[in-house]
Structure 1
Amino acid sequence: MDEKIKGKITLQALIVMLVVLVVVSSLGVTNMLIASKVAESTRRSLAEKVTITSRLVAESAVVRDGLSGKGPEKAIQPFTEKIRKQSGTHYYITVFDMKGIRKSHPNPALIGKPFQGGDEGPVLAGEEHLSTAEGSLGVSIRYFTPVFDEEGRQTGAAAVGITLKQVETAVDQSRSIIYAGLAAGLVIGLSGALYLGRRVRRVMFGLEPHEMARLLEERSIMIESTHEGMVAVDRAGRITLINEAAARLLEKAGIHGPFTGKEAESVIPRFHLPAILEKGEAVVDEEVDVNGFVFYVNSSPLKVEGRVIGAISTFRDKTEVKKLAERLSGTEMYAEALRAQTHEFMNRLHVILGMVHMKNYDALAAYIEEINIRYQDSIGYLSRRIKDPVIAGFLLAKMSYSVEQGKEVVLSEDSYLPDKKDSRFTHELITILGNLIDNALEATPIDGRPVTVLIESEETGLTIEVKDHGKGMDSPDEAFTKGVSEKGKGRGFGLHLVNESVGLLGGTIQVLTEKGKGTIIEVVIPLHGKGENK
């Protein structure tokens, strides 16, 4: 079926047409099978009635006496009319003697005249029989019964019949009941088809099958193109969906598929999906260790009309997330440093422009010389102590940024850092220094005492010490917990990143703080091995 036809015939119309076709076909076959049987049954029933009535008339004393001469012959007509009316006006009853002369008839004018039809011969010979012949009332079905007197001599016969027209009328009435039933079945079938079509359309959110297929295809493409791992489970906790990224990450952690259809608790127990299904609450940014690989996991229940029908987890390798965070953090720090330097540079340009307008060239030359000497002194001071150009540039930018904030960052004269030519080490060091200096500057009031930074490199390892004279910490033990901060909600990530970077480098952290006097944070990074963060 092409798109043009799909657009013309909706699913609802197709369902209605198919159901109506099935109902009409079923009713047609039913009519063929039943109608003929009903017609035959009606004819047989009418034949049985005329047979019974004919025998009843032939056995009656009034007819027997009337034909034998023991009773009045005129009594036959009222008696047969009474029976005819009781049996139904569509019947006729005729009594005639051995010469075929009628003694009773529905039409009194025909009494005394010969019987018509030519089929009365067998009954005058004493035999009962059923016959179809044309009489005074037209073609009819009639049953003949001989009449005998008390001595057993035949004195005449009784004929009870019904015209074929009346038979067909009775058959048509029986068929009309069938047709009424067929019509009712068709109406019910059509109503059911319309309801089913609307119900299916509502279940499918008003979409046609080809639209559902396209959405499913797009959904599959989107899920598979997602870089994050994605695992979905049903209400029973069985895995119903897992994308390629999830399979790749789990195989990296030593968990191999196939996964679909398995219990999530047996495959990824640390994701706690059964608990999500039970509580119906989402878990955000949970760190989960799977066979030594740490993932950041976000889990959420799937609800339809307020009822939990499943759950879904998305997760990424912590290493990848951390690399991205480092890149973003470093970029943000570089941008802040450049902005600070730009602001300072613009201020100096304004001073130079003012001196030019005032034509105070001697003072301008002296001012430029002073700036140059101060800048060269700063660069020289840093370059002699910090041999890593990236770290040196970063510290220079932080110093400029602190000046813009009305504060000061000072590098201790005892500092020394060789160029390790290790980009990973440099990135971790920027994360440690940047967050420690930022925290110290935030704790330092404007025009307060400077933040001191000490970087010492010895044979046993590297020591970093950042000292401020701020208000101190209330809970130093919780300072490195993710999301915990004395600055309010949405903070508490800087020292957490410091703690992670120090852990990756195998170092230790020590915090000395006193309320109202300040804080000293010391980081020691050994040359080999992992330490413990304190």
Structure 2
Amino acid sequence: MWSLWSSLVRSGRSLAGQFLAFQLLVVAVVLVAVGAVSIAQSTKEFRDVRGQRMIAVAENVASTPLVRDRYGDPFAAQVLAPDVDRAVALSGAGLAEIIDPSGRVRVSTDPSRVGRTADFGPSRVVEGRAWFGDLDIDGRHTLTGQVPILSTDGSVLSVVSVSEPYPSVWQLLSGAGERLLVYLGLGAALGLVASWLLSRRIKRHTRGLEVAEIAGLAEHREALLHSIREGVIGVNTDGVITVVNDSAQELLGIGADAVNRRVRDAGIDPAVADFLVSGEDGHDVVIATPNRVLALNRRAATSQGQRIGTVTTMRDSTELASMQGQLSSHKSVTDTLRAQTHEFANQLHTISGLVQLGEYDSVRDLVGALTRRRAEIDAAVTQRISDPAVAALLIAKTTLAAESGVALQLADDSHLCALSPALATDVITVLGNLIDNAVDVSEGTVASRVEVRIDDADGLTIEVADSGPGVPQAQRSQIFSRGVTSKPDVPGGRGIGLALVRLIAAQHGGTAEVHDADGGGALFVARLPRIESVSHA
């Protein structure tokens, strides 16, 4: 059957036609099987019923007085022929014979067999036992019943053999009754109708596409899917991953075995998994995993008007986010310069006015006070922070925070040696984002303060405490993920700064955490244990 199906596929017929032919083939096989079973049952029934009948006829002939008296007569063939013929006519048998124990036929309904040697086959009739079974007589397979004619002392005088040829296959089927033929015909008709309906349904669901076309579409789809640079992951309505391309596997840190697994069981970062299962459709969302910053967009997938799941595309925005963090640091410096320019302009206006009034002593006192205050700020930072880039950032942030009414203080026990340029860039990004976040939430509070502590005694630890409202316990696990911020006045939240903090810490084998500050507010702690590139210049 499989070879026939293969030949149908190779024949180039339509998919519906192939299924129709295959179904018809199945129906034909079923009909043949039913017919074979029916023939086997009819043959068994024929053998059991007619075998007993052949024994009864043979016994009737053997018990006839004339047969017992004249079986050995030289003219037995003519004398006993009427009795033998009558037995055949009454029983419907095909052949009746009287045979010597030696096997020579003495009387037969077929005159040509008289005098010939008969084959008793497996029977033990010559031992005085009646028997019925299968024998081949003149090339025909027959059912034969044999009964011995016994003498008064029990010896076998002769054997009566009655045979009937097995019916043909058609006779056996016909003998099984008209109902069998009706059932077979009805089954064939139903099979044809069902096959036709199935072929129509298959054609409709495959939209008229043939096997080669479907295979080509599947191969084309796989090639396109895995060649897309962006990550693509499909999730059905039950939260099970249905497709994931190579880029998505790399970005999410999963393998191809994630297909057919639930999103939350596939080893995907919890923040990304939450978005894939319950995120909003049609909106770009930035999610920071421990190793990457991903920009994701989720859209609903529908088929024939029904939602079948979602398709999410993702891009690696790690480098873009890092550049954004660096630009934010540069913007902070620019803002500081702007604030200083504004402050210096006011001071210059004051000095100019004093000069015009001739208050030269007041000018000298004002310049001295300004110089001392700037020196104090610079000294407070540079005495503890040896890296010029980080020190410059802290000085700039101090001035900028003061403009917002927030006091930025560096802890007395802070210490930082000179760093390599690459590490200094990462530290500036971490420190700048934490300070900006702290200043934003501290602005307008009662204390309005931000305290920074930097320690390089064991790796590098950066602590930034603010006087803001703090971070609720329920948000602490998500504060470094997508769109999460502690600033209530930012619609939708930014969260990219804190995401960068965690990302940079993870790249250096460290962590980023948030706790409650001692004096109220939040305490953000970033640890970078691997700082082998530190240079004590």
Q: TM-score normalised by the shorter chain: which range applies?
A: 0.3 to 0.5
Give me the TM-score of the superposition, normalised by structure 1.
0.43
Give me the TM-score of the superposition, normalised by structure 2.
0.43
Structure whose alpha-carbon radius of gyration is higher = 1
